[in-house]
Amino acid sequence: MSAYDVTLIIVALALLGAVALPRLLEHRPLSFPMIYVGLGVALFSFPGVPTVDPIGNAVVTERLTELVVIVSLMGAGLKLDRPFDWRSWSSTWRLLGIALPLTIAAVALLAWGVLGLLPATAILLGAVIAPTDPVLASDIGAGAPLTEIEEEHAPEYEWGTVQFALTSEAGLNDGLAFPFTNLAIAVAAAALSAEEAWLLDWVLVDVLYKISAGVVVGYLIGEIMARTVFRAPGTLRLAEVTAGAEALAATFLAYGLTELAGGYGFVAVFVAALALRHFEWEHDYYRRLHDFAVMVERLLLATVLVLFGGALAGGLLAPLTLPLALLGLALLLVIRPFVGAVAFVGSDAPLTDRAVVSFFGIRGIGSFYYLSYALAHASFRQRELVAAAEQLWAFVGFVVLVSVVLHGVSASPIMNELDRRRERATEAGADTER
C-alpha cells in the first residue's frame, strides 16, 4: 500500500469523523481522540503500510502539529463568552501564573534529580509537557459562542466556570510555555559557550519582547478583522458560501505576521480571537466563525491522531523506560492535580469545580509541536537534546496516550455529574427565594 493510498484513507476517516463522531459520542465515556488513535494503530499495523516516524520527519511533524494548534486557538478564543478583565479572569491567571510554572519546575526537577537527565533536557521535558492542550481540551471546554453568556454573567460564577477556566488556560498556556522551551535550548547552548549574558537575553527577548509582540499584533489583527467582518457589506453570494472563513484568515494573519516580527504566534492567534469575539458581543455571526474554525480543526486533528496511532504501531514507545513512565503518570495523577489545587488557594471557586479543573490537565498536540520545534531548532551545540530525541518522544507519546484514554473516558461522566450538581444547586436556590 502506497503512502498516497494511506493519505486518502486518513482524509476520508477525518471527514466522516468530523461530521458524525461528535454527535455519536456525546454523553458517552468515549472520545473523538480515542477513536482516531485506535484507528491509526489498526491502519498502520497492516503489512506494507508505510511507517510513521516523527523524528525522521521532524519538519512535517512540526508544521502539521503547529497548524492544528493555531486553528484550535482561534476556536478557543471565539468560545469565551466572558468580558476580558483581570478580576473575572482570575481562574486563568491562577492557572497560568502558578500552575504552569510549578508544573514545569516539578517535571524538570524530577527529570534532573531522579532520572539523571541533563539540565537542558529536563527543562525541555517540563516545558513540552506542562501546557494544557487547546486541541484535546476542546471537548470539555466552553461551548460555542453565545451559549453561556447568561451563565457567565451570573453572580455565582464570578470566579469563572470549569469550562471557561480550561478553555482560557489552554488558549494562553501554549504560547506562555514557549519561553521555557527556548530556555532549554539556551541552557544547552550555554553549556558549551563562554557567553555570560544568555540569561538576560532570554528574559528580554524570549519572555518580554516575544510575548508583548504576540499580544500587540494579535490585538491589532483581531480589531482589523472584526471591522472587516462586521462593517463590510456581505451581500455577495460568495460571502454566503464562504461564511466563517474569516476566522481562518485571522488565524493565519495573526500567526504569520507575529512570527515575522519575532513574537509568539500562539499568543497572537488567541489574542486576535478574543479581540474579534468582543467586537460585536452578541452577534449571531460568531457561531459561523466558530463552527468553521472547529470543522477545520477537527479535520486536522483527526489526521494528526491517526498518524499518532501509526507512530505507536511503529514502536514510538519502545525507548520508554520505567522511570520515564512513572514520571508521566505522576504528572497526570499527582503533579497537575496538586499544582491546580495550589493555584486555587484563596479562590472563591467551589471545591468540586477546583478539583475538576485541576484533574483535567489534558496533554496533547501542543506537546508534540513543542518537542518537534525544540529538536528541529537545536543547533549542533545542543546535541544533548538531539541525543535524547527518542526517549523524549517516547515519554511525550506515553503521556499523551494516557491522557487521551484517562481524560477521554472520564470527561463525560464527570462533566455530566457537575452539570447535575449545578442544576440541583440552582433549584435549591430558587426554592429558598420562594
Q: What's the pTM?
A: 0.86
**Residue 236: which pLDDT band, with cuts at 50, 70 and 90?**
very low
- What would the mean pLDDT of 23-45 be, rounded to a whole number? 77
DSSP assignment, residue 206? Answer: I
Residue 320: enclosing H or E segment and its boundaries? none
The cell for 100 is: 504552569
Is the confidence at residue 291, as pLDDT, over 90?
no
Give the chain's end-to-end CA distance (angstroms, integer).
Answer: 69
Neighbours of 103 (CB within 10 A): 27
207, 179 Cβ separation under 8 angstroms: yes
- d(CA 289, CA 75) in angstroms, rounded, equals 8
Please choose, from the candidates 385, 366, 371, the residue with its C-alpha nearest in 3D space to the C-alpha of residue 186. Answer: 385
Give the least confident one: 45-54, 106-115, 150-159, 381-390. Answer: 150-159
The rounded mean pLDDT for the chain is 81
The contacts of residue 334 (CB under 8 Å, 6+ apart) are: none
Place of cell 511503529: 314
pLDDT tens readout for residues 364-405: 888 999 888 887 776 534 555 566 788 889 999 999 999 999
The cell for 338 is: 496538586
- What angle (nearest 5°) sits at the alpha carbon of residue 231, between those of residues 225 and 233? 110
pLDDT tens readout for residues 138-190: 566 555 554 555 454 444 556 668 888 888 898 888 888 889 988 888 887 77
Please choose, from the candidates 247, 171, 181, 244, the residue with its C-alpha nearest in 3D space to the C-alpha of residue 214. Answer: 171
Please report, for residues 15, 34, 320, 381, the alpha-carbon distance to residue 301 in angstroms, rounded to integers and kept in the order given: 11, 12, 25, 34
Is the confidence at residue 268, as pLDDT, over 90?
yes
Give the least confident one: 241-255, 294-308, 369-383. Answer: 369-383
Provide the pLDDT for residue 150: 43
Is the confidence at residue 362, as pLDDT, over 80?
yes
Provide the pLDDT for residue 280: 72
- What would the mean pLDDT of 248-270 be, rounded to a whole number? 93
Q: Which residue has the higher pLDDT, 288 or 236?
A: 288
Determine what percent of the chain is predicted with pLDDT higher than 70: 79
Phi/psi class of residue 63: alpha, beta or left (left: φ > 0; alpha: ψ in -120 to 50)?
alpha
Q: Where are the beta strands (DSSP E) in 175-281?
A: none
Q: Which residue has the higher pLDDT, 387 or 266?
A: 266
- Number of C-alpha atoms within 13 angstroms, CB side, residue 293? 32
- d(CA 42, CA 35) in angstroms, rounded, equals 11
- What would the mean pLDDT of 256-273 be, rounded to a whole number? 94
- d(CA 365, CA 396) in angstroms, rounded, equals 10
Provide the pLDDT for residue 425: 64
